[in-house]
Amino acid sequence: MAPDPRLFAAPGVPSPESHLRLHAAFTIALCIAWVFTGLFPHDPWKPDEAYTFGLVLHILQSGDWVVPVLAGEPFMDKPPVFFLTAAGFAVLFGGLLELHDAARLAAGFYMCVVLTFVALSARELYGREHGWVAPLALIGCVGLLIRAHQMIADTALLAGFAIGLYGLCLSARRPVLAGIALGTGAGLGFMAKGLLAPGLLGLCALLLPLVFSTWRRRGYLPVLLVACVAIAPWVTVWPLALNARSPELFNEWFWVNNFGRFLGLDDLAPESAPGEYFVMLLWYAWPALPLAAWVLWQRGREAFVTPQLQLPMLVFLVAFVTLSVSADARELYAMPMLLPLSLLAAASIDALKRSAANFLDWFGIMTFGLLALVLWTAYVALLTGWPAQVSTRLSELHPGFVPAFDPVVLAVAATATLFWIGLVWRVGRSNRRAIVNWASGLTLFWVLTNLFFLSFIDHGKSYRGMIDEMKPHIPASYGCMASQNLGESQRALLDYFAGVKTRRIERGQAAMAECDLLLWQGWVWDPEPLGEPWVKLWEGARPGERKELYRLYRRAAATAAQAPAAR
């Protein structure tokens, strides 16, 4: 698909080859810093990381990739491709990093895939000079920052979307390769989170020739046929293996966790509110959303006859409408919508009015400059106790945390800050300056946050300390441990940090009758949940936790039935 020069108000003279290489090198370096900062070192955090690592841990312990198992129970929420990838990284790098940190590298791997294919898509649509703009627009999206660095299957889903979207971009020029990319991307997304990726990508592929005449060409049909062949292994091997192992578990995954969630036939996730994604995208997709809106508004009706705009516009609308009508809603589900918005943002940057570009530029500089100053001030307060008000507030957030001065941290943070100041000072005066400064400013914020406060945040969010505190109170010999109200994340972390698999009372009262230990999760204001014959052995919570409370009980009766050890 040849770039349309009408997309750009002032395309000018193409950049020299040396400038293109410099821009590409800068983009790669910034993306690497953005991707790999914050992946480690920290414990799995609830809710998503903790239960995800529990599924990875089962693969590492058993080698079974067919049935996802969480702390001894089948967990049919998602197919296993991310868990398998994370287990592979844990095996490769578990000797250098803690097991969970090594597994989290899978998120970095998939985000590298995402950024690569977003760059390739922009290059295919708009030309080489725009190939490096789209990744900067994507990493600049505020809503992606946290989720892209978590050990969650949604990063694999996003990678599948990025590959499939590239296949659609490539369809006019190289139909066979386009079909392979489209089918592979849809298949990877399927193995990450089920029917969403093949459904959205397949719907977009079918709607393009139906809605836009420019896509009704003879060479488009081979793209779809090749895609069907490419997706076949992804959508058959694991589902057939699962069905052969357990038709009941297959039905639970296929019907309950795909159609049941979408149609609201279960209560597995929060319900979608009217207009939720519209309001969410106003901050979640900043600044890609206003940039995308600008190019569509500027082009007006011509946007509907420009193939380079038709594709990302349709993909965004299909994803937005589909997610909006779904009964299941979470902010991380909006991640795929950021891909077409980033492509549209790349198309808009040269055509943006200079006043608007300057506003975005100075808004980014002032925002991240102020945030950097706040982070430096808080770091000084954490180490020295001055300013006193800031230090007191930090101590109240996570009591018991003991900061340690690290000259390497200080040197890297100072270097990153000075580099950003130099970049802001020296980058050329053009519309693209705005997206460069925004992406680099957000990256600086992320780097400083992790350098200064990752261990501080981990101290409050990790369950390791609480479980270590509880372990001495667990008898050396017991039959089994039941649990009441214990969340999936806590069950996974109890298995990881203490080697204890609980039997949930919610799955049947037999656990309470047979087990001689019981772990209860509730709120600090709840009354004592158990009386005789149960005796409380321990009570505790995470540092600074004001709501959650955990209590460990042992049955006093000597005649309690003993189940096989579940440790």
Residues 447 and 484 in one domain: no
Provide, rounded to the nearest whole percent, the portion of the chain with pLDDT above 70. 93
The yes-or-no verdict on residue 407 having pLDDT over 60 is: yes
- 200-244 pLDDT, tens per residue? 999 999 999 999 998 998 889 999 999 999 999 999 999 999 999
518 located within any domain? yes
Residues 419 and 367 in one domain: yes
Lowest mean pLDDT among 276-290, 477-491, 500-514: 500-514
The yes-or-no verdict on residue 156 having pLDDT over 50 is: yes
In this prediction, residue 561 has a pLDDT band, given cuts at 50, 70 and 90, of very low
33 located within any domain? yes
- 293-321 pLDDT, tens per residue? 999 998 888 889 999 999 999 999 999 99
**Range from 117-131, 143-157, 286-300 that averages highest in pLDDT:** 143-157
Residues 157 and 297 in one domain: yes
- 162-186 pLDDT, tens per residue? 999 999 999 999 999 999 999 999 9
The pLDDT, as a whole number, for residue 7 is 55
pTM listed for this prediction? 0.93
CA distances from 341 to 47, 192, 314, 319, 346 (A): 28, 22, 11, 11, 9
Name every residue whose Cβ is closer than 8 Å to that of residue 530 and which is 6 or more positions away in sequence.
518, 520, 536, 551, 553
In this prediction, residue 558 has a pLDDT band, given cuts at 50, 70 and 90, of very low
- 85-119 pLDDT, tens per residue? 999 999 999 999 999 999 999 999 999 999 999 99
The pLDDT, as a whole number, for residue 567 is 41
The yes-or-no verdict on residue 445 having pLDDT over 60 is: yes
6 located within any domain? no
Name every residue whose Cβ is closer than 8 Å to that of residue 522 and which is 6 or more positions away in sequence.
485, 529, 548, 549, 551
- 353-403 pLDDT, tens per residue? 888 888 999 999 999 999 999 999 999 999 999 999 999 999 999 999 999
Beta carbons of 38 and 450 less than 8 angstroms apart: yes
Residues 282 and 380 in one domain: no
Beta carbons of 141 and 288 less than 8 angstroms apart: yes
Joined together, the tokens standing for residue 548 give 């959650």
Name every residue whose Cβ is closer than 8 Å to that of residue 248 and which is 6 or more positions away in sequence.
none
Q: Which of 442, 461, 480 is the last residue of a domain?
A: 461
Residues 433 and 506 in one domain: no
428 located within any domain? yes
Residues 291 and 193 in one domain: yes
The yes-or-no verdict on residue 43 having pLDDT over 50 is: yes
The yes-or-no verdict on residue 10 having pLDDT over 60 is: no
Provide, rounded to the nearest whole percent, the portion of the chain with pLDDT above 90. 78
Residue 126: give the domain boundaries. 15-348
Residues 108 and 256 in one domain: yes
Query: Other C-beta atoms within 10 Å of 28: how many?
Result: 16
Average pLDDT of span 129-151 = 95
Phi, psi (deg, nearest 5) at residue 115? -65, -35
Q: Which of 461, 486, 514 is the last residue of a domain?
A: 461
79 located within any domain? yes
7 located within any domain? no
Residues 455 and 470 in one domain: no
Residues 288 and 419 in one domain: no
10 located within any domain? no
Name every residue whose Cβ is closer than 8 Å to that of residue 378 and which is 6 or more positions away in sequence.
390, 394, 452, 453
DSSP character for 76? Answer: T
3-state secondary structure at position 484: strand
Residues 22 and 145 in one domain: yes
DSSP character for 257? Answer: I
β partners of residue 97: none
Q: How many CA atoms lie within 13 A of 426 on its CB side?
A: 6
* Higher pLDDT pick, 352 / 193: 193
Q: Which of 419, 442, 461 is the last residue of a domain?
A: 461
Measure the CA–CA gap between 494 and 501, rounded to whole angstroms: 7
Residue-by-residue DSSP string for 521-550: EEETTSPP---TTEEEEEEE--TT-SSEEE
The pLDDT, as a whole number, for residue 5 is 52
In this prediction, residue 439 has a pLDDT band, given cuts at 50, 70 and 90, of very high
3-state secondary structure at position 16: coil
565 located within any domain? no
CA distances from 93 to 58, 80, 99, 101, 511 (A): 17, 20, 8, 9, 38
Q: Domains in the chain: how many in total?
A: 3
Average pLDDT of span 65-86 = 96
The pLDDT, as a whole number, for residue 224 is 97
In this prediction, residue 426 has a pLDDT band, given cuts at 50, 70 and 90, of confident
Query: Between β-strands 517-523 and 481-484, what pairing exists: parallel, antiparallel or unpaired?
Result: parallel
CA distances from 517 to 510, 513, 557 (A): 13, 10, 11
The pLDDT, as a whole number, for residue 274 is 72
Residues 450 and 473 in one domain: no
The pLDDT, as a whole number, for residue 21 is 85
Average pLDDT score over the chain: 91
Residues 543 and 421 in one domain: no
* Higher pLDDT pick, 508 / 85: 85
